[in-house]
Structure 1
Amino acid sequence: MKIILHIGTEATSSEALQATLDVKRNQLLAKAGVLFPSSPGKRNHARLYMAMTDPDQVDPLRFNRGFITAERQATLQAALKADLEREITAAQPRVLLLSAGQLAGGLSRTSELERLRDLLRGFSDDISVVMHVGPQTEVMLRAYMLQLHEGRGRSLALEQAIPEGSDWRTACLSQMPEADPLRGIFPTIEAPLFWLDYEALQAHWESVFGPGSLSFRPHDAERFASEAVIDEIRDMLGTEDSLGRGEATPPRRLLNAPTLARARQMNSLLQAYLAPGTSILPRKLWSAFLGEVAIEGPEADPAALSAICARFAPGNARLVERHPALSAESLALPAPGAPWQEPDPLYGYRPSQYFMAMRWRIERATRAERAGKIAEAQGIDAAPATPGEGLSETARAILPPGAVVQFDQLSRSPFAPHNNLGQLDETALLPPYSPAPPRSLPAGSSGRVAVGCMKNEAPYILEWVAYHRAIGFDNFLIYTNGCTDGTDEILTRLMQLGVLEHRDNDGWQGNSPQQWALDCALEEPVIRDAEWIAHFDVDEFVNVRCGNGTLDDFFAHAPEATNIAMTWRLFGHNGVTQLSDEMVIAQFDHAAPKYCPKPHTAWGFKTMFRNIGAYQKISCHRTNKLRKGKAERVQWVNGSGQEITREVLKNGWRNSRKSIGYDLLQLNHYALRSAESYLIKRQRGRALHVDRSIGLNYWVRMDWSDHRDITIQRNIPRVRAEMERLLQDDQLRQLHRQGLDWHRAKAAELHAQPEFQDLYHKALALKLTETERAAYALALDVES
């Protein structure tokens, strides 16, 4: 296996490369044998970078992600190595491609490169290093602006003051301060841009990785921002394989001239305020402050840096001779002009005036972090802490190193799960809902339509249909493929009874049967004539938690809404091991905590939308492809009836901490049901992701049984009445019984197979707290 290590930089559009690599991850492996691993980071391999810096070289990433001390970083290193080993073993690639935009500018010491080399040599000795470069004037300006985003308080006067004829890299590194995270001082952020001497950088890296190991490639901003970025990836990999079109990624918008000066001056003031070491300013809040001082203004001119960068011209010429991909134009420096001066911040700007209005937010953040990052940063040189402090004995025995890292980070972060959210008492025993009168639909309307896809769901269909009829859905359009348990027969009979529409989806094409079905659904009269449409699965129940528990009751709270983000509440197996004919909503009444921003699946949502033609496409979680000129007609709300349009108008399928809310409506997601149901689901795979199986990792992500929620059970009497009405049909009653018998027989069959019996016992033995489960889920790959 060959390893290609892409070391950046962020100033030369590494983010654009990584965006396409992320999208093309599966194609790269299938067509070119190239593994772009996800364990070091989904796009930018930030975990790789954080694990390789020297312990005392704390940077903003390590500080903000909780890897401040040497012990926590060591745990990260062990977890990263184990995760990479797992991915490589599973994929057996021809090439391992790693990419972290911070490596070139963040690893300044030989010891750091040796650590990186030793890690990679554990996988292969065939290592090539690649870096994209451009004229130093352009790269210096972008890199300086990126430093300002991260809090640099010193101006480019540092770089200007380096004497002509001196060793640029040595002079820059001599001015690198020691890390002092609490005071906002990070070495590679405050240091002059030492790595812009490309010749010296090459010598540094090749002193560790060997002569000829580093290749420079030209940074073409237009190419990187367009779909042609895929061609750069192919050239970088040296492959002729067709990988389709790349992701067009507009360049990151950087600071204009007056905002550049304003940000630098504000950073300097904030560092002075943090100097006593008793306050903390989280990265997100610091960035918000810089946004508040930004104004419109002219762009900064890279040519103003030509006098500083003229010293690099001879070295650039030698690099063009040694690196075939480079040309004289790719590293051409503009003619020296007027020397650089920090731009005028305009309008009599004084950062102190803004700071006085910001100070209370710093004090609030400090109180929130006093037991977290402040204590940790003050303990950089203290005795090592115990990784995984606070883990239960069960978790300590089974959690892999990566999950322990996640637990340490999560447990002291604002993302730690808890149940203190919203106003609803979910344990209160309230009277049953009254039966809702049937709706009379106007001529030509199919009303409120639920679209679903099913595969081997026979025991659960009648309850799901009865439930959603009881709360106000008028029609159903169900697609099936590959069913062997009687699902098709039940749906066919329900169609004969006029209850729903059933379509055979065995002839599906493309990447998934579900998306094929949703595309086909757009042509169906029942969808074309619908008032409202919602796509969700048979293990998902729309739980209206206001009024009489009907859709009408929710609509009354959000009369202007056109799109409703129905957020998942994940319900675990609740100690139920055996298949039963009892109602799902009665058996499973313990769920994930209401506040659960991690892992990403916990706050996923499905969408119910008014059929106004605002979007062109129905996808698994939401409507997509907003039509031109329709944005003004669209209003998204969450399950508390609060507007969230700005966050999800064009993309996104999960709620954030800002947009979460399900006081009035939530989507109860019974992904596992009983332990035996989980075995059968594991055996048949997944409807949307045909290339994914359901293993123990799926159980980890979905088995939340921490907090009691019986709000949906107020529906039981009216749902039971509707089921009994449906079951008066002799043929339907027999089909339902046969479907249940099929599943019981399948469960017995799987119990007899060692692989499934072992999985069954492992799943039931997995007793985790909510924070342990969230940490484990974050560390595991759901595709196992």
Structure 2
Amino acid sequence: MNRPTPRIAIAAIFRNEHPYVLEWIAHHQSLGVARFYIADNVSDDGTSELLQALHVLGVIRRIPFASTPGQAPQLPAYADLLGTHACDEDWIAVIDADEFIVPTGGARSLAEVLAPLAAQADVGAVVLNWAIHGSAWRLNHSAGLVCERFTRRAHQSFGANHHYKTVLRRAAFASVHSNPHHFVLQPGWRCVHTDGSDAVPHARHGLGLSERVVWEGLRLNHYIVKSREEFETRKGRNGSAATVGRVKGEDYFVAHDRNDTRDGLSAAQCEATRHRLGGLVQRLSAHGHPVPAAPVAEPTYRPPFVGTRGCIDRIEWRSGALVLSGWSFQDSGQTTPCLSVQVGEQAHTVQGFPTRPRPDVQRQYPMAPLDCGFVLTVPLQDLAPAEQGLVVRGQTSLGRFGDPFSMPARK
């Protein structure tokens, strides 16, 4: 059955987002979004000038939107964008500059996922649950795309992921709600998840958060803190578009800097974004508008632990010797200086052992040195056999790592 392809636009409010504007647009262009309605909340970092240049080129529609004293600008901006400027659109995703819509099932466009939902005559809104991404332990604003630099996120069950943003069928729109996550629909319209199930409000927190976190088809990657430098530079100055006087400080960073699991965008998606980004830069340059300069600093990392971390992956006997393979490194980025092998009351300490590359560990812990792996052969002829077996521990001046491994005594 051929379904009509839904046209999807994006509406947002921007303030002081200069380093990220082009990537955000390029990412969503690569997924088939052609129209952007951006309320410019009077930036002072060059964002307003960049948005105006993109407006002149026809890439976006910029709507100047100054704050009213004592009033948070986000909801009034949404009401203006949806009620006046984007009223001829079919579907409008209302998201922020640090939120990236991401297909999760191999789709190459947003329309591909939304088409079966849009074909249901009573579906008026589709909610996209957050996927909170942390700093990936990065300290500074280094080179690279946002989607390449911040590749670690919270587990799906993390509480903040119950938040959602809305892809709204314009014909169903009645009004903004009391928070920026939800919209009031005309009577007779349904609000659903991306899997087609009804979006049930969270039992404790109500509308704006859903009872389930659904990432099937689409989700909303929320690069909520970025690096420590970027958080401290931007959040203190920007405040909150949704709440007057709110400053997102250290507690906010700690609560949302979740790096529980590695989950980056595909190489194909990153390349598609980079291709679109290059096109935007060329067009801006051809019209004499300076483009945001990319940071040149090498990334530095904040250790995710104090002390030493490591693992002995394998332990076996070979020709009268014990062979240990694994990895370890300290929070300073150095490899572990020694291992101790204990049999009964006797211990054999090995220092200065050779290392080997472990790119898999470096992917898990970006601050780890590449050569944090080892394969160590320990001769045991000088150690008395022990009936209770063998215990191997990693030992450093900062303490031991991991859990002891035990194995049967030698035959």
Normalising by the smaller structure, the TM-score range is: 0.5 to 0.7
Alignment counterpart, residue 54 of structure 2, candidates 494, 501, 504: 494
Counterpart of 1:562?
124
Distance 1:668 1:518 in 2: 21
Tell me the CA shift for residue 652 of structure 1.
Answer: 0.7
Distance 2:64 2:153 in 1: 34
Counterpart of 1:690?
244
Tell me the CA shift for residue 636 of structure 1.
Answer: 2.2
Deviations along 1:29-68, whole A, 9 cap, x unmatched? xxxxxxxxxxxxxxxxxxxxxxxxxxxxxxxxxxxxxxxx
Tell me the CA shift for residue 552 of structure 1.
Answer: 1.9
Distance 2:41 2:264 in 1: 33
Distance 1:714 1:655 in 2: 31
Q: How does 1:223-234 map to 2 (within 5 A)?
A: none
Matched-pair identity in %: 25
Alignment partner of 1:524: what SS?
Answer: helix
1:535 aligns with 2:115: no
Q: Tell me the amino acid that sits aligned with residue 214 of structure 2.
A: G
Alignment counterpart, residue 662 of structure 1, candidates 215, 218, 231: 215
Preserved contact between residue 156 and residue 213 of structure 2 (Cα < 8 Å): no
Distance 1:552 1:737 in 2: 30
Preserved contact between residue 543 and residue 712 of structure 1 (Cα < 8 Å): no
1:463 aligns with 2:23: yes
1:708 aligns with 2:270: no
Preserved contact between residue 147 and residue 265 of structure 2 (Cα < 8 Å): no
Alignment counterpart, residue 590 of structure 1, candidates 152, 161, 180: 152
Query: Unmatched 5+ residue regions in structure 2?
Result: 307-411
Preserved contact between residue 124 and residue 172 of structure 2 (Cα < 8 Å): no
Preserved contact between residue 138 and residue 227 of structure 2 (Cα < 8 Å): yes
Distance 2:199 2:154 in 1: 26
Q: Tell me the amino acid that sits aligned with residue 145 of structure 2.
A: M
Tell me the CA shift for residue 509 of structure 1.
Answer: 5.4
Alignment partner of 1:654: what SS?
Answer: strand
Counterpart of 2:312?
none
Counterpart of 2:291?
736
Counterpart of 1:679?
232
1:725 aligns with 2:287: no
Counterpart of 2:315?
none
Tell me the CA shift for residue 457 of structure 1.
Answer: 0.7
Q: Which moved more, 1:715-724 or 1:574-583?
A: 574-583
Preserved contact between residue 547 and residue 553 of structure 1 (Cα < 8 Å): no
Change beyond 3 A, Cα 1:491–1:557 = same
Tell me the CA shift for residue 588 of structure 1.
Answer: 0.9
Distance 1:562 1:555 in 2: 12
Counterpart of 1:472?
32
Preserved contact between residue 542 and residue 665 of structure 1 (Cα < 8 Å): yes
Preserved contact between residue 201 and residue 208 of structure 2 (Cα < 8 Å): no
Alignment partner of 2:209: what SS?
Answer: coil
Deviations along 1:405-443, whole A, 9 cap, x unmatched? xxxxxxxxxxxxxxxxxxxxxxxxxxxxxxxxxx999xx
Alignment partner of 1:736: what SS?
Answer: coil
Q: CA RMSD in A?
A: 2.9
1:575 aligns with 2:129: no
Tell me the CA shift for residue 593 of structure 1.
Answer: 0.3
Change beyond 3 A, Cα 1:453–1:767 = farther
Q: Which moved more, 1:663-672 or 1:554-563?
A: 554-563
Q: Post-superposition, which runs of at least 4 consecutive aligned residues in structure 1 deviate over 4 A?
A: 645-648, 731-734, 764-768
Counterpart of 2:44?
484
Change beyond 3 A, Cα 1:543–1:470 = same
Normalization by structure 2: what TM-score?
0.65
Counterpart of 2:103?
544
Preserved contact between residue 53 and residue 289 of structure 2 (Cα < 8 Å): no
Alignment partner of 2:210: what SS?
Answer: coil
Q: Tell me the amino acid that sits aligned with residue 516 of structure 1.
A: P
Q: Tell me the amino acid that sits aligned with residue 14 of structure 2.
A: M
Change beyond 3 A, Cα 1:533–1:767 = farther
Preserved contact between residue 8 and residue 111 of structure 2 (Cα < 8 Å): no
Aligned residue pair count: 292
Change beyond 3 A, Cα 1:716–1:557 = same
Distance 1:621 1:586 in 2: 26
Alignment partner of 2:292: what SS?
Answer: helix
Counterpart of 1:642?
196
Distance 2:43 2:76 in 1: 17
Change beyond 3 A, Cα 1:460–1:692 = same
Alignment partner of 2:176: what SS?
Answer: strand
Deviations along 1:437-493, whole A, 9 cap, x unmatched? xx999xxxxx42211111111010000001111112121111122411100011000
Tell me the CA shift for residue 523 of structure 1.
Answer: 3.6
Q: Tell me the amino acid that sits aligned with residue 549 of structure 1.
A: R
Distance 2:88 2:218 in 1: 25
Distance 1:507 1:589 in 2: 34
Preserved contact between residue 578 and residue 675 of structure 1 (Cα < 8 Å): yes
Q: Tell me the amino acid that sits aligned with residue 545 of structure 1.
A: T
Q: Which has the higher helix share?
A: 1
Q: How does 1:428-443 map to 2 (within 5 A)?
A: none
Change beyond 3 A, Cα 1:647–1:700 = same
Tell me the CA shift for residue 611 of structure 1.
Answer: 1.4
Distance 1:614 1:456 in 2: 29
* Larger Rg, first or second structure (1 or 2): 1
Counterpart of 2:367?
none
Counterpart of 2:112?
553
Preserved contact between residue 543 and residue 666 of structure 1 (Cα < 8 Å): yes
Q: Tell me the amino acid that sits aligned with residue 491 of structure 1.
A: L
Q: How does 1:329-348 map to 2 (within 5 A)?
A: none
Tell me the CA shift for residue 612 of structure 1.
Answer: 1.6
Q: Which has the higher strand share?
A: 2
Counterpart of 1:610?
169
Distance 2:173 2:77 in 1: 20
Alignment partner of 1:737: what SS?
Answer: coil
Normalization by structure 1: what TM-score?
0.35
Tell me the CA shift for residue 646 of structure 1.
Answer: 5.2
Tell me the CA shift for residue 510 of structure 1.
Answer: 5.5
Distance 2:92 2:66 in 1: 23
Preserved contact between residue 540 and residue 670 of structure 1 (Cα < 8 Å): yes
Preserved contact between residue 42 and residue 64 of structure 2 (Cα < 8 Å): no
Deviations along 1:236-292, whole A, 9 cap, x unmatched? xxxxxxxxxxxxxxxxxxxxxxxxxxxxxxxxxxxxxxxxxxxxxxxxxxxxxxxxx
Distance 1:557 1:468 in 2: 20
Deviations along 1:194-226, whole A, 9 cap, x unmatched? xxxxxxxxxxxxxxxxxxxxxxxxxxxxxxxxx
Preserved contact between residue 454 and residue 687 of structure 1 (Cα < 8 Å): no
Alignment counterpart, residue 652 of structure 1, candidates 197, 202, 207: 207
Counterpart of 2:337?
none
Preserved contact between residue 545 and residue 711 of structure 1 (Cα < 8 Å): no
Preserved contact between residue 509 and residue 516 of structure 1 (Cα < 8 Å): no
Change beyond 3 A, Cα 1:540–1:594 = same
Change beyond 3 A, Cα 1:570–1:457 = same
Tell me the CA shift for residue 767 of structure 1.
Answer: 5.2
Preserved contact between residue 456 and residue 486 of structure 1 (Cα < 8 Å): yes
Counterpart of 2:180?
620
* Structure with greater contact order relative to length (CA < 8 Å, sep ≥ 6): 2
Tell me the CA shift for residue 578 of structure 1.
Answer: 1.7
Distance 2:50 2:69 in 1: 25
Distance 2:240 2:277 in 1: 27
Deviations along 1:361-387, whole A, 9 cap, x unmatched? xxxxxxxxxxxxxxxxxxxxxxxxxxx
Tell me the CA shift for residue 595 of structure 1.
Answer: 1.7
Q: Tell me the amino acid that sits aligned with residue 703 of structure 1.
A: D
